[in-house]
Structure 1
Amino acid sequence: MITLNHLSTEDPADGCPLIPEAEEATLPSYELGTRPESFFISRTVNLTISLVLLISCYSAILIPAYLPADGSYHEFPKDLVLLNLSASLLSSPCQPRWCLTHLKPLSCSPGLLNIPVFVQQEHPMSWERPPPLGLQGSEQHLALALASLPQLDLPPFLSKEGHCRRCVVVGNGGVLHGSHLGSHIDQYDIIIRLNNAPVPGFERDAGSRTTVRLLYPEGAPHSADEYKQTSMVALVVFKSLDLDWLTSVITKQPLSFWSKMWFWRDVVEEIPLRPENFRILHPEIIHKTGEALQKYAFKQGNMVPTLGACAVVMALQMCDHVSLAGFGYNMQHPEARLHYYEEIRMDAMKAQVVHDVSAEKLFLRDLVAAGAVTDLTRAL
């Protein structure tokens, strides 16, 4: 057995110390009940770090819902097959009355034929329904609006008399994003757009021209650039005050402060178009569209269709060939884009209760299946 009898702080060889003497070491000492302040962070710093972590967690959860699902949309078309089909459609001869011929076999067709497109009479025989399905109770507002319009009839560039016309209704759906259909859309005779769907900056997918922009006051674009290359604005009347707004825009006489209070959002006060470039959509378009949708709805009653569905029915009155681009809400993919011009997801549609988008999708599917319209983006 080996035992150590003595530990020395000096190297036995040269007498140098191996460790410092105990009395030379200076160690911190604390009184009982105290703690080293440098070890702990202040309450302010603690709160700041907590807030940063909390915001970071929420951002990690929420921000991805507003980001593009696929960055390749900005580089390549979604489907070259669709582009080829669209090109083939445009290159084929225009056949007069194509839509009407293929529309007649449908059960909903009788109510969709020969509907007046724009309001032309100050005192029609009957406005049996209030807006938007009619103009009951808005007669005085209508008279003032019509008096401000130099022209009321269908202009030659919208009439199919003597011409075979191709029309495209450009919906706002996210399926249009990345489609590269813009150059094809611009080749149509009549291009119909809805509300404030933007054109500048989205020409590659949505085109650059606008023949008719259907809108209501709250949905009118505020930027003057959106009205460039626009032939006509058609007002969709949802309330009597909408007619007063149109009169104000045409005559340059501002609305009263009290009138402005009744709009649910700020409305544009000036649209850079000539008075002859304005019209009022006939409420029968909305009424007959709603009646057609009843055949596909689970609940019965007066149905208010979306502007997109109304625009399709309007196009059927003016055009020999009707194509759709940017239509179809796919609720089975909640992460998909809702609109082509913003990154809100499809989930947002669950919050709206005004329109029956499921019934509209079935209605439009039937039109496509019958050959009355063509779906360029194939989302219906």
Structure 2
Amino acid sequence: MMTMRKRTLKWLTFSLLLIFLTSFVLNYSSTGVPTAWFSKHMALGLSDNLRKLIKSQPCACTRCISQGKVSYWFDQRFNKTMQPLLTAHNALMEKDTYQWWLRLQRERKPNNLSDTIRELFRVVPGNVDPMLDKRLVGCRRCAVVGNSGNLKDSSYGPEIDSHDFVVRMNRAPTVGFEADVGSKTTHHLMYPESFRELGENVSMVLVPFKTTDLQWVISATTTGTITHTYVPVPPKIKVKQEKILIYHPAFIKYVFDNWLQGHGRYPSTGILSVIFSIHVCDEVDLYGFGADSKGNWHHYWENNPSAGAFRKTGVHDADFEYNVTTTLAAASKIRIFKGR
């Protein structure tokens, strides 16, 4: 408590000093430089520095994911400079990253990426904060809700809904399952082949595994000409354009290299959701990950004995991904709620 008071006092003192200096600079005109120039450029510069300072404030949560020197294993993998979302300002990819990304779903004749991105940001926001204003909210508590059958009869719904961000993925429904999985969703990760319509205020986070996925977003919000990738996909979607975010391909490779260390062919939406969340949240709680208490790998909305078949395809290394989440929990970086 005393430490927090000292930080608050230090912050107030700094703020008052900053206000005084800004006022002094803006009113000082003996240099011969017009005051208007100072107003526009100096104030903007001070504003940018203040914003950076605010973003670097210590985490206000009880448990803070980004805190270093808690787990050597975590510190070796976590790179806080990595930005989860693609924007018009960070879209340039290194050659090896781009070539790796093109191989994920073996796209034979990809369209020019620069042209595609330019067209993409004509229809969806290209100026979003790639960290989703992480440091401007004090303490951001996030729930990442997987699709495991272990959520059945868990009664986790109200607890999930109490989080600031609720992240879901792929075709996961909430209607009819609210008591166990909650009703709130702020961000829903999906790719074209796993698309489902979302609530009006939900942000769709597209995970692109190929250039066609980016073209599909353009088409699905405008002309509706793309109806098939390697399977049929919705030609049109009802998601508001300003609610569409793009998962950065370079961040997918970061997850693959740093966290999965090359296991599987590429990461699943589940582990992409987890690592996305530890970068934009201060506390992360996982629900609906892993098998149920009987060892079954099925979705909470269906009873499908073959739902765990993906574990044998080699596309995703489900066991290694699950070990990553349990190690994060063991390092006190996240919490896992295992349900039934």
TM-score by length of structure 1 reads 0.64
- 86, 92, 96: which one pairs with 1:128? 96
Q: Deviations over 1:144-178 (max 9, x none)?
A: 11222234312897533242100011011111111
2:249 and 2:312 mapped to 1: Cα distance? 26
2:161 and 2:263 mapped to 1: Cα distance? 38
- What displacement does 1:269 show? 2.9
Answering whether residue 302 of structure 2 is matched by residue 342 of structure 1, we say: yes
Change over 3 Å in CA distance of 1:156–1:352 after alignment to 2 = closer
- 86, 89, 95: which one pairs with 2:61? 95
Q: Which residue number corresponds to residue 315 of structure 1?
A: 277
Contact 2:190 2:207 survives alignment (8 Å): yes
Opposite residue 322 of structure 2, the aligned amino acid is K
- 196, 215, 234: which one pairs with 2:205? 234
- What displacement does 1:230 show? 3.9
Contact 1:181 1:205 survives alignment (8 Å): yes
Contact 1:214 1:311 survives alignment (8 Å): yes
Counterparts in 2 of 1:210-289, with a 5 A limit?
210-221=185-196, 224=197, 227-228=198-199, 230-250=201-221, 252-255=222-225, 259-261=226-228, 263-289=229-255
Change over 3 Å in CA distance of 1:249–1:358 after alignment to 2 = same
Change over 3 Å in CA distance of 1:200–1:313 after alignment to 2 = same
Q: Which residue number corresponds to residue 49 of structure 2?
A: none
- 133, 140, 161: which one pairs with 1:165? 140
Contact 1:167 1:189 survives alignment (8 Å): yes
Q: Which residue number corresponds to residue 317 of structure 2?
A: 356
- What displacement does 1:307 show? 0.8
Answering whether residue 83 of structure 2 is matched by residue 113 of structure 1, we say: no
2:69 and 2:310 mapped to 1: Cα distance? 29
Deviates more, 1:95-104 or 1:263-272: 95-104
Q: Deviations over 1:92-117 (max 9, x none)?
A: x9616711126852425344222202
Say which SS state the counterpart of residue 344 (structure 1) adopts. Answer: coil
- What displacement does 1:276 show? 1.1
Q: Deviations over 1:19-66 (max 9, x none)?
A: xxxxxxxxxxxxxxxxxxxxxxxxxxxxxxxxxxxxxxxxxxxxxxxx
Answering whether residue 274 of structure 2 is matched by residue 306 of structure 1, we say: no
Aligned residues: 272
1:157 and 1:288 mapped to 2: Cα distance? 18
- 365, 368, 377: which one pairs with 2:329? 368
2:232 and 2:135 mapped to 1: Cα distance? 37
Change over 3 Å in CA distance of 1:367–1:103 after alignment to 2 = farther
- What displacement does 1:133 show? 3.9
Contact 2:63 2:333 survives alignment (8 Å): no
Note the aligned Cα RMSD (angstroms): 3.0
Q: Deviations over 1:332-362 (max 9, x none)?
A: 945x251111101365345432100111111
Q: Which residue number corresponds to residue 83 of structure 1?
A: none
Change over 3 Å in CA distance of 1:349–1:329 after alignment to 2 = farther
Q: Which residue number corresponds to residue 21 of structure 2?
A: none
Contact 2:125 2:245 survives alignment (8 Å): no
2:63 and 2:83 mapped to 1: Cα distance? 17
Contact 1:117 1:285 survives alignment (8 Å): yes
- 250, 258, 261: which one pairs with 1:292? 258
Change over 3 Å in CA distance of 1:318–1:157 after alignment to 2 = closer
Opposite residue 283 of structure 2, the aligned amino acid is H
2:168 and 2:308 mapped to 1: Cα distance? 23
Counterparts in 2 of 1:54-203, with a 5 A limit?
95=61, 98-101=64-67, 105-114=71-80, 115-121=82-88, 123-124=91-92, 126-130=94-98, 133=101, 138-154=113-129, 159-203=134-178
Deviates more, 1:130-139 or 1:144-153: 130-139
Contact 1:164 1:320 survives alignment (8 Å): yes
Structure 1 residue runs without a partner (length 5+): 1-92
TM-score by length of structure 2 reads 0.71
Contact 2:124 2:244 survives alignment (8 Å): yes
Opposite residue 338 of structure 1, the aligned amino acid is H
Change over 3 Å in CA distance of 1:357–1:247 after alignment to 2 = same
- What displacement does 1:182 show? 0.9
1:302 and 1:377 mapped to 2: Cα distance? 24
Counterparts in 2 of 1:326-341, with a 5 A limit?
326-329=288-291, 333=294, 336-341=296-301
Change over 3 Å in CA distance of 1:307–1:278 after alignment to 2 = same
